[in-house]
């Protein structure tokens, strides 16, 4: 159908040629094992996370020619299990008048006629602002394809700034998330800045994916959480309506929202008359360092699964000198319980587990190493309790990615219930954020952690997934020692698998 379209585009051809020439030089041993990393060059937001012809597709913001952000293409990967990904050739390039400065974030959907539709933001530079910085225009565009090759719609854009509500900024109007409504019409939500320069999420409806009608505001920031709201996604889950957004330029609230550009879940219900979200609760999605721009899909068996870019915008200059930059988080299954968003590693990861090693009732007093508990690509579950509840241990930590002077850690203090992730000795050579802490919401005397370590990252899930903390590490992947420490006496159960 669109098999020769990419050769019509000099830019896409150049990107694919660059991939073909250079990506094979990257050994598998220099990539994460169970996380998607960039084919070559730079990766940011997940895009088009969806099922097409029975396979999972994950596109991403992509600059193949360098390991820093640049004119955005869409990179592309497919998977049968959400865990192991195969790179496909770049999907789209910034090669049209309406997207010549970038194909920004968006989503994808399988159409009834068998085609895959990509819905993305086209970016063009329109001039300079009075302060001399460039001014951009953002419009929404579509492309049709067969799962590998895509052709942009001839009458793009399909949503232009004349379809914005009054006062909304045409410069900040992006990241469409499309889905099929129960009535058979397409819906989408978009990030926007309102007249007060505060984030809002706009809703549109279409019967054909081409002609879109503005339907109203789904949610408004009112100056509370950062400024512009990027990368919206909304869905019904466990009797609630959930909206995930990534606010830019956030101020911390206590120990929460420390990432500058962070993530936020709003949970509530839809107003029958206006279609707007009536908020009941809000929370950070992840409490760690490297986590932004979430996107979800629904699996064939009805699970809501989320991925995010496993990176913080402010530390992207710490590239580590590799030819690829950027990783996605592990896909996480979502649920809502008691008004909170829970997340848990997608169950397919259990198929990637090998070599179970388990210990029960280990007394940890000072430093402790356990036979068989080591590795840089592991799924580790821990349960830690005081030996004597009347005289609890003061601090517990696990060190990993360790050798000689290098290690990273996850520590917990029983006095104030703070869980901390730390990468001070991970090999980072720049003055960037090296730790982050969060207060556990439901500590009942037993610390329960599930920890996924994969060469250049760690993801920590607390309890049944009511809190998560994510960070990247640059440490040499052969540094694989793991050990435990308690100030006082702790009793620990451990279960560890290698991930392959």
Q: Give the residue numbers annotated as catalytic, written as ranges.
A: 45
Using the minimum distance from each CB to ligand FRU, give the nearer residue, 230 or 348.
230
Binding pattern to ligand FRU, positions 116-145, x when CB under 6 A? -----x------------------------
**312 sits near ligand FRU (criterion: CB under 6 A):** no
Rounded Cα–Cα distance for residues 226 and 471 (Å): 21
- Closest approach, Cβ 324 to ligand FRU, in A, equals 16
Is 484 in contact with 397 (CB distance < 8 Å)?
A: yes
Exposed / middle / buried, residue 367 (Cβ in 10 Å: 0-12, 13-18, 19+): exposed
User: Quick one: which of 141, 145, 163 has its CA closest to 154?
Assistant: 141
Q: Which residue among 108, 277, 293, 462 contacts ligand FRU (CB under 6 A)?
A: 293
**72 sits near ligand FRU (criterion: CB under 6 A):** yes
**177 sits near ligand FRU (criterion: CB under 6 A):** no
**105 sits near ligand FRU (criterion: CB under 6 A):** yes
User: What is residue 138's DSSP assignment?
Assistant: E
Work out whether strand 116-128 and strand 102-110 pair parallel, antiparallel, or are unpaired. antiparallel
User: Quick one: which of 409, 474, 469, 478 has its CA closest to 439?
Assistant: 469
Using the minimum distance from each CB to ligand FRU, give the nearer residue, 164 or 231.
231
- Closest approach, Cβ 172 to ligand FRU, in A, equals 9
- Closest approach, Cβ 74 to ligand FRU, in A, equals 10
**230 sits near ligand FRU (criterion: CB under 6 A):** yes
Is 396 in contact with 364 (CB distance < 8 Å)?
A: yes
Is residue 96 helix, strand or coil?
coil
Rounded Cα–Cα distance for residues 201 and 265 (Å): 13
Q: Which residues, including other chains, have CB under 8 Å from residue 326's CB and lie 6 or more apart?
A: 37, 38, 42, 43, 44, 60, 309, 310, 311
Q: Which residue among 39, 152, 174, 304 contacts ligand FRU (CB under 6 A)?
A: 174
Using the minimum distance from each CB to ligand FRU, give the nearer residue, 172 or 498.
172
Rounded Cα–Cα distance for residues 14 and 330 (Å): 30
Phi-psi region of 339 (alpha: psi -120 to 50; beta: other; left: phi over 0): left
Using the minimum distance from each CB to ligand FRU, give the nearer residue, 105 or 156.
105
Using the minimum distance from each CB to ligand FRU, give the nearer residue, 318 or 362.
318
- Closest approach, Cβ 221 to ligand FRU, in A, equals 15
Is residue 186 helix, strand or coil?
strand
**104 sits near ligand FRU (criterion: CB under 6 A):** yes
Report how many residues bind ligand FRU under the rule CB under 6 A: 13
Using the minimum distance from each CB to ligand FRU, give the nearer residue, 221 or 409.
221
Rounded Cα–Cα distance for residues 3 and 25 (Å): 27
- Closest approach, Cβ 123 to ligand FRU, in A, equals 8
- Which residue is associated with the tokens 């001399």? 132
**175 sits near ligand FRU (criterion: CB under 6 A):** yes
- Closest approach, Cβ 96 to ligand FRU, in A, equals 16
**172 sits near ligand FRU (criterion: CB under 6 A):** no
Rounded Cα–Cα distance for residues 304 and 115 (Å): 23
**Partners of 188 in the β-ladder:** 178, 204
**61 sits near ligand FRU (criterion: CB under 6 A):** yes
- Closest approach, Cβ 298 to ligand FRU, in A, equals 22
Using the minimum distance from each CB to ligand FRU, give the nearer residue, 72 or 330.
72
Is residue 336 helix, strand or coil?
strand
- Closest approach, Cβ 174 to ligand FRU, in A, equals 5
**286 sits near ligand FRU (criterion: CB under 6 A):** no
The number of beta carbons lying within 10 Å of the beta carbon of residue 114 is: 11
Using the minimum distance from each CB to ligand FRU, give the nearer residue, 65 or 443.
65
**Partners of 367 in the β-ladder:** 485
Rounded Cα–Cα distance for residues 290 and 302 (Å): 28
**44 sits near ligand FRU (criterion: CB under 6 A):** yes
Rounded Cα–Cα distance for residues 456 and 378 (Å): 12
Using the minimum distance from each CB to ligand FRU, give the nearer residue, 121 or 470.
121
**307 sits near ligand FRU (criterion: CB under 6 A):** no
Chain-centre distance of CA 488, in angstroms?
A: 37
**149 sits near ligand FRU (criterion: CB under 6 A):** no
**231 sits near ligand FRU (criterion: CB under 6 A):** yes
- Closest approach, Cβ 351 to ligand FRU, in A, equals 31
- Closest approach, Cβ 194 to ligand FRU, in A, equals 16
User: What is residue 23's DSSP assignment?
Assistant: G
**290 sits near ligand FRU (criterion: CB under 6 A):** no
SS3 content of the chain, % helix, strand, coil (to 5): 5, 55, 40
Using the minimum distance from each CB to ligand FRU, give the nearer residue, 45 or 99.
45
**45 sits near ligand FRU (criterion: CB under 6 A):** yes
Instruction: Give, as ranges, the residues between 234 and 253 that touch ligand FRU (CB under 6 A).
Output: none
**95 sits near ligand FRU (criterion: CB under 6 A):** no
Q: What is the 3-state secondary structure (H, E, C) of 180-228?
A: ECCCCCEEEEEEEECCCCCEEEEEEEECCCCCCEEEEEEEECCCCCCCC
Backbone angles phi, psi at 266, to 5 degrees: -115, 130
User: What residues line the site for ligand FRU (CB under 6 A)?
Assistant: 44-45, 61, 72, 104-105, 121, 174-175, 230-231, 292-293
């Amino acid at each position: 159908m669109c098999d020769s379209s990419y050769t019509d585009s000099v830019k896409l051809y150049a990107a694919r040629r660059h991939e073909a020439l250079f990506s094979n030089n990257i050994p598998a041993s220099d990539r994460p094992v169970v996380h998607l990393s960039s084919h070559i060059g730079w990766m940011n937001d997940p895009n088009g996370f969806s099922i097409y012809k029975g396979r999972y597709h994950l596109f991403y913001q992509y600059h193949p020619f360098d390991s820093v952000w640049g004119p955005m293409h869409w990179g592309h990967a497919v998977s049968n299990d959400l865990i192991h990904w195969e790179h496909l050739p770049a999907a789209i390039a910034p090669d049209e008048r309406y997207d010549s400065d970038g194909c920004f974030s968006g989503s994808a959907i399988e159409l009834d006629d068998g085609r895959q539709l990509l819905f993305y933001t086209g970016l063009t530079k329109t001039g300079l602002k009075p302060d001399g910085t460039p001014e951009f225009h953002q419009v929404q565009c579509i492309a049709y394809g067969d799962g590998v090759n895509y052709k942009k719609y001839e009458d793009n854009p399909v949503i232009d700034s004349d379809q914005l509500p009054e006062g909304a900024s045409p410069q900040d109007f992006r990241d469409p998330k499309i889905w099929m409504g129960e009535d058979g019409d397409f819906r989408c939500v978009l990030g926007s800045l309102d007249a007060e320069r505060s984030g809002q999420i706009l809703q549109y409806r279409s019967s054909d994916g081409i002609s879109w009608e503005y339907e109203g505001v789904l949610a408004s920031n009112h100056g509370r959480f950062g400024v512009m709201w990027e990368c919206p996604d909304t869905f019904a889950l466990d009797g609630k309506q959930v909206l995930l957004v990534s606010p830019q330029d956030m101020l911390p609230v206590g120990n929460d929202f420390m990432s500058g550009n962070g993530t936020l879940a709003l949970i509530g219900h839809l107003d029958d008359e206006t279609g707007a979200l009536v908020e009941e609760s809000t929370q950070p999605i992840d409490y760690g360092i490297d986590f932004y721009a979430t996107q979800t899909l629904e699996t064939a068996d009805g699970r809501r699964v989320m991925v995010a870019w496993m990176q913080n915008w402010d530390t992207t200059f710490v590239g580590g000198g590799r030819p690829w930059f950027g990783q996605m988080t592990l896909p996480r299954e979502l649920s809502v319980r008691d008004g909170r968003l829970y997340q848990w590693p997608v169950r397919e990861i259990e198929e990637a587990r090998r070599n179970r090693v388990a210990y029960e009732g280990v007394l940890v007093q000072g430093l402790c190493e356990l036979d068989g508990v080591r590795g840089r690509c592991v799924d580790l579950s821990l349960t830690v309790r005081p030996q004597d509840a009347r005289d609890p241990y003061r601090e517990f930590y696990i060190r990993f990615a360790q050798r000689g002077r290098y290690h990273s850690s996850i520590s917990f203090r029983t006095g104030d219930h703070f869980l901390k992730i730390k990468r001070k000795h991970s090999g980072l050579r720049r003055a960037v954020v090296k730790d982050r802490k969060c207060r556990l919401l439901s500590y009942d005397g037993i610390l329960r952690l599930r920890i996924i370590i994969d060469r250049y990252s760690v993801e920590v899930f607390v309890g049944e997934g009511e809190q998560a903390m994510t960070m990247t590490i640059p440490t040499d992947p052969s540094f694989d020692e793991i050990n435990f420490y308690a100030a006082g006496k702790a009793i620990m159960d451990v279960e560890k698998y290698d991930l392959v």
